[in-house]
Amino acid sequence: MSIDVAAYQPGTPVDDELATVAYAAVARWADQRPITAELVASRLRTHADAPATLLATGRAHDGRLVGAAALRWPAAPGATGRLWGPAVLPESRRRGLGARLLAALDARLADTAAAQVTSAEVPVGRCAAHRLFHAAGWTLAPASVLLKAQPLPPPNTPPQPSRVRPAQPDQAGDLAGPLGRLYGATHPTQPPLVAAATWQRWTADSRYRPDCLLVAPSGDGGELDGAALVYPLAHTDPAEPPEALLADVLVAPNAGDPQRLRDGLIAAALSAGRRHGAAVARALVPAAPNPTLDALRRAGLQPVTTLATYAAPQRRPAPAASDRSAW
């Protein structure tokens, strides 16, 4: 079976094929979740000036897609790229297809001197995937913990902070700057260009709904003390309950009563997910002790599994910030 590598084009029939293969890869594992064509496009579509995602595919003799992996380049100099997969249908496993898909994209990384790239999260029990990345020379990165609530918990009894409210559809000019500064203050290790593009990155996702971005203005020149983003995922698969992903929770370091604000943002985000029909909530946060993990537990989400992430081998120095052609 040959491996084809080409630029990913969102909105084509391949999205449905990729969703089928990806769901087969997570079925019966702790990270099982509904995977739709919309979700695939949201993960593989690039933003800003980054090149198109590279998609490696393997097809059976009848043309059916049986395996795939994708490499989404960094969105800005100093940012981190992302590997999606490899994902292989169960009946096509144990034939080296996953290793060949990974090698095809690994070769592109070596050729382009790309900045850091990390894998998708791998549950601790998925031994074959761990062996695949170890054999390819990828190294373990900090772990994350997956939390879920099923069914979604009822709204918190204590009142939410009155300043927590949904974003408005026409607030791009008002929120872009404050949200970028809030993201930078909450994630100080992220490159400034990544923080500045937070509004663009969040709202470009096809799952974005204005009322699912919750903000807490600080009352000081339009700045924000906090924000939370939840993505509802609509689908028609009867085997999977509708789901909402709590994508991020941001609280400024100098916000007053940060625990109450964080709890209020999460409660409002979960309520937004319920309004959009979600029956399940999931969140992914660093496994190391942190305030967001504690707040999610208080909101009724329970840890399901630990997820490992791998970093691609650094074969060459990352390109200079001005050398965008080398991404």
The answer to whether residue 65 scores a pLDDT higher than 90 is yes
Measured CA to CA in angstroms, residue 272 lies from 131, 143, 267 at distances of 39, 28, 9
Q: Which of 94, 92, 84 is nearest to 128 (CA)?
A: 94
Mean pLDDT of the chain: 87
Domain-wise residue ranges, the chain: 3-138+312-326, 149-307
Q: Is the pTM of this model over 0.75?
A: yes
The pLDDT assigned to 230 comes to 96
CB under 8 Å to 108, separation ≥6 — which residues?
Answer: 5, 54, 71
Query: How large is the C-alpha radius of gyration of the chain?
Result: 20
The pLDDT assigned to 90 comes to 92
Residues 38-45 have a mean pLDDT of 89
Mind listing the pLDDT tens digit for each residue in 283-319? 999 999 999 999 999 999 999 999 999 999 875 444 4
CB under 8 Å to 46, separation ≥6 — which residues?
Answer: 52, 53, 72, 73, 75
Residues 243-269 have a mean pLDDT of 93
The pLDDT assigned to 39 comes to 87
| Angle, CA 209 vertex, CA 208 and CA 213 arms, to 5° | 90
Does the domain spanning 149-307 belong to CATH 3.50.50.60? no
How many C-beta atoms lie closer than 10 Å to residue 159's C-beta?
Answer: 10
The answer to whether residue 226 scores a pLDDT higher than 70 is yes
The answer to whether residue 322 scores a pLDDT higher than 60 is no
Q: Indicate the pLDDT class of residue 212, thresholds 50, 70 and 90.
A: very high
The pLDDT assigned to 221 comes to 72
Mind listing the pLDDT tens digit for each residue in 70-85? 999 887 777 888 999 9
The pLDDT assigned to 75 comes to 75
The pLDDT assigned to 56 comes to 97
Three-state SS at 239: coil
Residues 265-278 have a mean pLDDT of 92
Percentage of residues of the chain with pLDDT beyond 70: 90
- Spatial contact of 139 and 272, defined as CB atoms under 8 Å apart: no
The pLDDT assigned to 160 comes to 58
What is the CATH code of the structural domain delimited by 3-138+312-326? 3.40.630.30
Residue 234 or residue 248, greater confidence = 248
The pLDDT assigned to 102 comes to 96
Are 3-138+312-326 and 149-307 in the same CATH fold? yes
The pLDDT assigned to 115 comes to 63
Task: Name the range with the highest mean pLDDT among 50-59, 76-85, 145-154, 162-171.
Answer: 50-59
Mind listing the pLDDT tens digit for each residue in 1-21? 789 999 999 889 999 999 999
The pLDDT assigned to 139 comes to 95
d(CA 260, CA 224): 15
Mind listing the pLDDT tens digit for each residue in 182-193? 999 999 988 898
Of the listed ranges 126-130, 157-161, 271-275, the one predicted with least confidence: 157-161
Q: What end-to-end distance do the CA atoms of the chain give, in Å?
A: 29
Residues forming beta bridges with residue 305, ordered by sequence position? 146
Residues 11-37 have a mean pLDDT of 91
The answer to whether residue 157 scores a pLDDT higher than 60 is no
Mind listing the pLDDT tens digit for each residue in 92-124? 998 999 999 999 999 888 766 556 899 999 998
d(CA 239, CA 233): 14
The pLDDT assigned to 191 comes to 87
